[in-house]
């Protein structure tokens, strides 16, 4: 494997595109933030990095409170909208049909549609280049009970939490293992079995109530015997014989010639002229020049 050197960049991904709500329940505001994460697990400390030009920056700095809301995949439109629009111009809660609900331990509202809301109180504000980092302590967590599994933990796959990487939104994939499975023999064996499982996708069977919606071809009429032709390779097949392409009709269809012979390639003197045996007459219009035909009004075609 060969690696190339890049200039320093924000390559740490994926990250959660969280919706940070601030203000009050009566006058809420929300913005989308990707620069966030955990600082410490005891005490539980987190952070969000926001540009000073953003409308939410001054609100959080003055109140010292905010709520981190984890959105689901079906909220991706609202997530993107709240990241590009400013609360100075519009009410983003109203525009995206979001509900501002009271949150325990802080005056900032939580977003009711998000399955997880994390209440935070600011401890310090530090400037790092173009962003100010709000270091905060987690003082409360609200979780939707329908996403709690039998063990009392949050089922992230069921919740459908979003992920963000290099300007694109993603959903979380399948669970590959739990923490510590690499040293737990029972869990390791179970994961190895999962890697060998192949999922077979079967098409559902049609029921009697379902109608056949297959494409139907229009019926064409054959110039030989005036019998309908079907668009089926089994009905007519093409093969090469002596350098000529000839079509052979199926034995179920009646032959054109009354004596039982199939359609022939009429060749007489070998000079390319058509020859007909005794008692044979060409089909009406066969062999006529295009100029011999007249339109319905009886007037002949003019020569160009």
Report which of 183, 19, 201 is spatially closest to residue 115, judged by C-alpha positions.
Answer: 19
108 touches 21 (CB < 8 A): yes
Residue 183: predicted pLDDT: 78
Q: Are residues 25 and 119 in the same domain?
A: yes
Residue 165: predicted pLDDT: 92
Q: Are residues 101 and 237 in the same domain?
A: no
Q: Are residues 134 and 59 in the same domain?
A: yes
Alpha-carbon gap, residue 241 to 245, rounded angstroms? 7
Which of 37-46, 212-221, 223-232 has the largest mean confidence? 37-46
Residue 288: predicted pLDDT: 54
pLDDT above 50 for 241: no
Which of 80-84, 193-197, 237-241 has the largest mean confidence? 80-84
Provide the domain count of the chain: 2
Q: Are residues 165 and 257 in the same domain?
A: no
Q: What is the pLDDT of residues 243-301, one digit of tens each?
A: 444 454 554 555 545 444 445 544 444 454 455 555 555 555 555 555 555 555 655 55
pLDDT above 70 for 198: no
> Which of the pair, 155 or 202, is modelled with greater confidence?
155
Q: Which domain holds residue 156?
A: 18-173
pLDDT above 90 for 92: yes
Residue 196: predicted pLDDT: 59
Q: Are residues 25 and 144 in the same domain?
A: yes
Task: Single out the residue in 111, 144, 173 at which a domain terminates.
Answer: 173
53 touches 61 (CB < 8 A): no
Q: Are residues 154 and 259 in the same domain?
A: no
92 touches 85 (CB < 8 A): yes
The CATH number of the domain holding residue 120 is: 2.30.110.10
Task: Single out the residue in 151, 173, 195 at which a domain terminates.
Answer: 173
**What are the angstrom distances between the C-alpha of 294 and each of 45, 291, 299, 301, 303?**
92, 8, 6, 7, 13
> Which of the pair, 296 or 144, is modelled with greater confidence?
144
State if pTM tops 0.85: no
Report which of 17, 284, 3, 6 is spatially closest to residue 161, judged by C-alpha positions.
Answer: 17
145 domain residue, yes or no: yes
Residue 96: predicted pLDDT: 95
146 domain residue, yes or no: yes
Q: Are residues 54 and 123 in the same domain?
A: yes
77 domain residue, yes or no: yes
pLDDT above 50 for 44: yes
> Which of the pair, 129 or 255, is modelled with greater confidence?
129
pLDDT above 90 for 182: no
Q: Are residues 88 and 226 in the same domain?
A: no
Q: Are residues 121 and 232 in the same domain?
A: no
Q: Give Cα 10 distance to the centre of its chain.
A: 27
pLDDT above 50 for 228: yes
122 domain residue, yes or no: yes
pLDDT, the chain, mean:
77
Q: Are residues 168 and 250 in the same domain?
A: no
281 domain residue, yes or no: no
199 domain residue, yes or no: no
Q: What is the pLDDT of residues 149-177, one digit of tens each?
A: 888 888 877 888 899 998 999 988 777 87
Q: Are residues 63 and 145 in the same domain?
A: yes
Instruction: For residue 10, name the pLDDT band (cuts at 50, 70, 90).
Output: confident
User: SS3 string of the chain?
Assistant: CCCCCCCCCCCCCCECCEEEEEECCCCEEEEEECCEEEEEECCEEEEEEECCCCHHHHHHHHHCEEEEEECEHHHHHHHHHHHHCCCCCCCHHHHCCCCEECCCCCCCCEECCCCEEEEEEEEEEEEECCEEEEEEEEEEEEECHHHECCCCCECHHHHCEEEEECCEEEECCCCCCCCCCCCCHHHHHHHHHHHHCCCCCCCCCCCCCCCCCCCCCCCEECCCCCCEECCCCCCEEEEEECCEEEEEECCCCCCCCCCCCCCCCCCCCCCCCCCCCCCCCCCCCCCCCHHHCCCCCCCCCCCC
Mean pLDDT over residues 176-191, rounded? 74
Residue 244: predicted pLDDT: 47
pLDDT above 80 for 223: no
Instruction: For residue 178, name the pLDDT band (cuts at 50, 70, 90).
Output: confident
Q: Are residues 115 and 237 in the same domain?
A: no
214 domain residue, yes or no: no
48 touches 20 (CB < 8 A): yes
């Amino acid at each position: 494997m060969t690696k190339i050197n890049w200039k320093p960049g924000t390559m740490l991904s994926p990250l959660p595109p969280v919706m940070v709500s601030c203000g009050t329940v009566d006058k809420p505001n929300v913005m989308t933030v990707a620069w966030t994460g955990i600082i410490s697990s005891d005490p539980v400390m987190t952070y969000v990095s926001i540009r000073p030009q953003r409308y939410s920056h001054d609100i959080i700095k003055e109140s010292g409170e905010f709520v981190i809301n984890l959105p689901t995949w079906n909220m991706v439109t609202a997530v993107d909208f709240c990241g590009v629009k400013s609360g100075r111009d519009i009410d983003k809660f109203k525009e995206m049909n979001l509900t501002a609900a009271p949150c325990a331990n802080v005056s900032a509202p939580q977003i009711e549609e998000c399955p997880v809301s994390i209440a935070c109180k600011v401890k310090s504000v530090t400037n790092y280049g173009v962003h100010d980092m709000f270091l905060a302590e987690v003082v409360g967590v609200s979780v939707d009970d329908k996403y709690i599994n039998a063990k009392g933990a949050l089922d992230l796959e069921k919740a459908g939490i979003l992920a963000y990487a290099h300007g694109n939104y993603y959903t979380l994939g399948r669970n590959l293992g739990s923490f510590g499975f690499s040293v737990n023999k029972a869990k390791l064996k179970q994961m190895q079995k999962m890697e060998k499982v192949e999922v077979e996708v079967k098409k559902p069977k049609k029921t009697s109530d379902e109608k056949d919606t297959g494409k139907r071809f229009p019926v064409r009429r054959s110039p030989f015997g005036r019998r309908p032709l079907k668009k089926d390779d089994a009905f007519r097949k093409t093969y090469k014989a002596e350098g000529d392409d000839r079509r052979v009709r199926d034995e179920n269809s009646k032959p054109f010639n009354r004596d039982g012979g199939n359609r022939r390639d009429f060749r007489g003197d070998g000079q390319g002229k058509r020859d007909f045996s005794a008692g044979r007459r060409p089909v009406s219009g066969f062999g006529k020049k295009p100029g011999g035909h007249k339109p319905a009004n009886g007037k002949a075609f003019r020569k160009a």
